[in-house]
Structure 1
């Protein structure tokens, strides 16, 4: 007899072939592969004292994850009854979901009672979630929750956003609202397995969500895919996606399991790493660092030896001031009266800021003070790099004395900058260059953020040395007359305690690689 999951996968493939992707994308609808669904279902640790389980699949689609979990439960002899609740409000797929669950319930070795709810998963629970039902609300709770929620941004005034104000900041994405509501729907000590983008793991945008999730639950398992374009079967999705397993508990974990595969089809060749929980989940903002080996853990530990941040030092990283396409009337191709330099990422070359380079629109004429900044010393950092580029952090030193004719300058918003204070010495700028041009800080940022964008919020959360150490690093770099990565690594190494073998091995590794 055909396996339950194979049947549903075949029916789903027929649906995909007949339903335009543009229509499915409107609902944020991407289907989980068979192998991924089976892996997710296998992550649950079942309660040992139960014969009946209540399961939730919100955004159920065609039922792939529900059926993968039912099939997994066939191997657990103590489970003889399942109460399954599926939320799905896409009218295009509800009939398929109904047909699939009906077929599975008739062919399963376990008694399956299923219910399909077509109302909005988020807004239908707004009263329970916000405790608007009085002193004794009875919200529905589940033993197991599995899900592949919709990935779709909504407006900050959307009903779903207004329903969950405690986790929203700006215009949210449905996937993390589904995840937060899933936490609400979990019984104490119950487990949830979701496949979601990794974007929530850092940054201010997801701060409230991270704090709620990781204050109420523990993160037991993270699975990473090395190829971001091979996660969803028959789909072209470039979103970097991870699988997480959480448990609704306040217990203190020492380790979190981090597994990695190349794609959604090779779970036979899986690598496993047990990482220190407090290193992976760190700080008041609950950043989640996706380290996959002991070398990356050492990277985090070395940077975390410092206790300052750029904002604490009074020099936060900021984003460039001028959005050029919104200020076309102010742009100039050549110098003229009252024009000042407008710096782009192209001006950052081999650790220096080169100007002019004959680029279009590299001057600006404006009296808008919001577009201008003092001609002071800065470290410029590119905001965007290509995925295949060797480094994420690419920076250049800007010294005001090189351009004495200008009192002010401007920066395009595709670069970030640190500095701008009149009393910020060249040594400090060169010291900042040592940090951000080093392998250590580039590795750290890659672990923190998987995207190709350098986010000032995340840079400002990274630990840095005190100002006197940064200044000393800069003096060393100036004396070296060598701004290469290797030189920065050598200088940084001399300021980091190397009494343990792990630190020595880290620097030996990057030296040999360089």
Structure 2
């Protein structure tokens, strides 16, 4: 029996005895054997050291670090491995110790270990924040491997206050573990972590991304097509990825991206090499998780645009009214002093339909904070189901259709693009062309894996100039067809025209250069 097989056997016995509800309380979901082997194989093994130092924070039963030791013990490059594990869940500590003792007895090379039962984050707060001065000499590791706890904590939790440089709002433990793991790495050391993909975009993780990706470089990303297959025995629905990061200031030319359907057969995977700056892009350090050449082309096409909504005077915002918190203001029918309250259900076939005999379609105009001017908008649904064809679902709202109102309200499950009051209706339709196109829908899916459409990401997406948006809107109005197919044709014709102009400019410059020489 291999070292890993023994650990898996003991872990499965633990899982059968311990209720999932109790393990979930600690954010405790165990890595499968196949995933552990794959993660261990991602490391480039240093060949110039006699001793390796490995860190496994949030070690659980030791599956990941023991999978790595199982691989390393068959290599002749070094004589000794020193493993440091952190685990403060009293339910699993004894099992972890038993597994590590077994490894020390059975491994083909010398293995020593330290088992720390204190809080991983808090125990290093002073070193992390450089509060120990020049005398501090914390141990640095050649390899860091981990499946950190996935658990949201309060913004004033001890772990959050210990790492203020990466926290924004109420953080999740998993990215605090990743950031501390980067701190623990030696120069050129490698980290392999299995974590949710949620950190790859959005304001919430911005500080973490910027620090994490300034101290290290992504070398490998592994994606699972089926999110319900990553922790198959745990029945966890989580958008999870595996990352390999090297602690270095040198940015590689390429990132390796692999994809599998599940964690059962990593041999059946697709492989894609992507330019680093296509994957990690922009001042917000968004990470674009592409899976094929077509998606790379989509990113390159849209990223060539130089504008965003805010740069052209527009901005996507979230609807103002949380309906269940304002029940006393809601009405089913029109009354004096009420205004329309728009929900995602009012977005139908590219337009906004109202009323639709839905309950609570009106709201009393008593709280100014819930009201907005009755001007033109593009409405976009904030939430869609995983199975729906499109993530971006939008509708054109024209104020002239509701001219009896000076104000309206929007429920917070829709977004709206603001700033259109003094602009042509054609621009509203042009924005619809963009966000109802396949190209923009794919771009958003690459950027954000959740079913929620966030205004932060939309406001960061590249868009054409106002004149071009207006021109596309004019074509859509003339077409009298709001379908995705028509939007795709209009946007494609613009992109092709832009590319033709770009090629003409190159030829002009080339001819001028030849003439001058």
TM-score with structure 1 length normalisation? Answer: 0.96
* Alignment-derived partner of residue 270 in structure 1: 269
Shift of 1:420: 4.8
The answer as to 2:338 corresponding to 1:339 is yes
Shift of 1:466: 1.1
The answer as to 2:132 corresponding to 1:133 is yes
Contact 1:374 1:420 in 2 (8 A): no
* Alignment-derived partner of residue 173 in structure 2: 174
Contact 1:385 1:392 in 2 (8 A): yes
Distance 1:92 1:304 in 2: 49
Correspondence 1:226-265 to 2 at 5 A: 226-265=225-264
Correspondence 1:58-207 to 2 at 5 A: 58-207=57-206
* Alignment-derived partner of residue 24 in structure 1: 23
Distance 2:133 2:443 in 1: 47
The answer as to 2:342 corresponding to 1:323 is no
Distance 1:266 1:78 in 2: 29
- Cα RMSD, aligned residues only: 1.2
Shift of 1:499: 8.3
Tell me the matched-pair count: 501
| Partner SS, residue 190 of structure 2 | strand
Shift of 1:270: 1.0
Distance 2:354 2:26 in 1: 47
| Partner SS, residue 55 of structure 2 | strand
| Partner SS, residue 396 of structure 2 | strand
* Alignment-derived partner of residue 509 in structure 1: none
Long gaps (5+) in structure 1: 504-514
Contact 2:420 2:428 in 1 (8 A): no
Correspondence 1:33-48 to 2 at 5 A: 33-48=32-47
Superposed CA deviations along residues 169-191 of structure 1, whole A, max 9, x for unmatched, are 00000000000000000000000
Long gaps (5+) in structure 2: 503-517
Shift of 1:497: 3.5
Contact 1:385 1:453 in 2 (8 A): yes
Which range moved further: 473-482 or 490-499? 490-499
| Partner SS, residue 10 of structure 2 | helix
Distance 1:202 1:108 in 2: 42
| Partner SS, residue 496 of structure 1 | helix
Contact 2:84 2:113 in 1 (8 A): yes
Superposed CA deviations along residues 208-247 of structure 1, whole A, max 9, x for unmatched, are 0000111110000000001101101410111100000000
| Partner SS, residue 138 of structure 2 | coil
Superposed CA deviations along residues 470-502 of structure 1, whole A, max 9, x for unmatched, are 11111111111111111111111111146879x
Shift of 1:464: 0.6
Distance 2:174 2:246 in 1: 18
* Alignment-derived partner of residue 510 in structure 1: none
* Higher normalized helix content (fraction of residues): 2
Superposed CA deviations along residues 388-433 of structure 1, whole A, max 9, x for unmatched, are 1000000000000011111100000000000254202211100000
| Partner SS, residue 469 of structure 1 | helix
Contact 1:332 1:365 in 2 (8 A): yes
Distance 2:76 2:454 in 1: 50
Contact 1:88 1:117 in 2 (8 A): yes
Shift of 1:53: 0.1
* Alignment-derived partner of residue 366 in structure 2: 367
Contact 1:192 1:247 in 2 (8 A): yes
Shift of 1:124: 0.3
Superposed CA deviations along residues 438-473 of structure 1, whole A, max 9, x for unmatched, are 010001001001111001001011011111111111
Shift of 1:140: 1.8
Distance 1:51 1:232 in 2: 35
Distance 1:350 1:110 in 2: 66
The answer as to 2:16 corresponding to 1:8 is no
TM-score with structure 2 length normalisation? Answer: 0.96
Question: Would you identify which runs of 4 or more consecutive aligned residues in structure 1 move more than 4 Å?
Answer: 498-501
Contact 2:313 2:419 in 1 (8 A): no
* Alignment-derived partner of residue 488 in structure 2: 489
